[in-house]
Amino acid sequence: MKKIYFAAFLSLFIFNAYSQQAFWTETFGTGCNSGQGASVVATPSNGAWAITSFSLPFMNGPDANEWFISSSEQGQPVNICGGITCGGSNNRTLHIGRHVLFPTPIIDVGASYFGGPISYTNKRVETPVIDCSGKKFIQLSFTYIQGGIPGNDFCDIEYSGDGGATWNFLTTMAQTNNSTCGLQGLWSFYSVGLPAALSNNNNVKLGFHWYSNDATGGSPSVAIDEMRLSEATGFISSPVDCATPTASVVITNTAIGNTSFTWASVPAVNFSAVNGGSANVTFPAMGTYSLYCYGSSASSVAATSTAEIVSIVDFVSTNSVSIASSNSLICEGSTAILTASGASSYTWNTSSNSTSIVVSPSVNTQYVVTGVIGACISTFSFTQLVDPCTAMSESTHSNEFAAFPNPFSSELNFASNDEIEICITNIVGHIVKKSVFHRKGSIDTSEFPNGIYYVSFKTEKETKVLKLVRN
């Protein structure tokens, strides 16, 4: 059978810089045994596997090779040759082995297979159901050896997201580099990212599908050990808001075997000081950003894992922009200066881009300024109060007394034909000054806040209240 090979992900698994933890593991157990079919005895970690035979694209022969879990082919560290049977650590593997019953039984002599029509093999071995709830961007990794005649003998990885009801092709495993190992393969590392359909899925199954239809067979077939499912996770190391739009991001758990990393973001940000699974990131504006760190093994041609970190860049806890008026209350026809602060640039609702504007409204008027500093954008509104100052002029007086000037600032003068008692209250009725004058006098008002005041004049003949304005 001819088959187009997909890119494989092989690497020497040497990586200790970051935490690497798997949420699902299959090591197939230990112990000296041989001939144990993969579906016969449950593994210590996960329970019984299953084997499915197929009739297309070709039938299994009467002496078809079989999937075994045994130490007839012991798992070895990466970069070590296979072919070791019982003895020592007795590290069992999942492997395709010979299964001939007649005339002379030849059963499970390690990762080795027979060829010819009588031994054609078309079988998939399947994991128990795996719970991937709460997991995203999942990576499958394992160690393995594989041989065979290219185009005729190969192993596909397949997956199911519905507990085995339906299956899909994921990738074809490449042969390991077996040239230095004689008749058996060189143990290597393999990793591949699983499709999004398996993320947050509690009904996942994975399968290894072995096809062989060549005339001779040989060694090795395929053997698999140290299966891991892992996900990369990360976090932003400091709070981020528009006033502090630069923070550090770090991958706290890398997918198994990842040794190189690439960063990206949607929308785009500026990454700096990139050091593998850590970087500094500067956000250009407020908004929601998804940061992605793609991990791969040393010789991978594509990423096999993804870490996603979502960051919301929002306002700081308080508005940074404010407006101050030179006079919060002015008479109609007078002017006030409004000054913005708290940002580096400003835009007023009057279309001005200055820090200060001069206003002369005839009625109470709201002014709005938008300020920008760094990535922060905030607004502030201020209402300039206007009083018509009706019947007020430079001198406010009656036939018996006068108060001037009006509006006043640092000093308020009084004059009367006789002795006068005055009482000054602010706009909310609080007494701010009381005094008695004979004919004339003045009061220091330099400490009075700007605003409206009411002055009560009392003489022997009359009492009257006048409204004055300080600006």
* Multiple choice CATH, 233-313, 3.40.50, 2.30.30, 1.10.3470, 2.60.40: 2.60.40
- Top-level class of domain 10-230: mainly beta
Residues in the chain, overall count: 471
CATH code of 322-387, in short, is 2.60.40.10
| Reported CATH class of domain 396-470 | mainly beta
Q: Where are the domains of the chain?
A: 10-230, 233-313, 322-387, 396-470
396-470: same fold as 322-387?
Answer: yes
Residue 365 is encoded by which pair of tokens?
């008027």
Tokens, residue 311: 């960051």
HSE toward the beta carbon, residue 48, CA cutoff 13 A? 7
CA distance 189 to 257: 8
- Tens of pLDDT along the chain (471 residues) come to 333 232 232 332 333 334 578 999 999 999 999 999 999 989 999 999 999 999 999 999 999 999 999 999 999 999 999 988 888 889 999 999 999 988 888 999 999 999 999 999 999 999 999 999 999 999 999 999 999 888 899 999 999 999 999 999 999 999 998 888 877 899 999 999 999 999 999 999 999 999 999 998 999 999 999 999 999 888 887 778 777 788 899 988 888 888 889 999 999 999 999 998 899 999 888 789 999 999 988 655 577 888 888 888 876 655 679 999 988 878 777 888 999 999 999 999 999 999 999 999 999 999 999 998 877 888 999 999 887 765 444 344 455 678 888 889 999 998 888 888 999 988 877 889 999 998 889 999 999 998 888 888 888 777 788 888 888
The string of DSSP codes covering 169-235 is: EEEEPPPP--TTSTTSPBPEEEEEEPPGGGTT-SSBEEEEEEEE--SSEES--EEEEEEEEE--EEE
Residue 338 CB contacts under 8 Å (≥ 6 apart), including other chains: 323, 324, 325, 326, 356, 357, 358, 359, 367, 382, 384
The answer to whether 138 and 132 are in contact (CB under 8 A) is yes
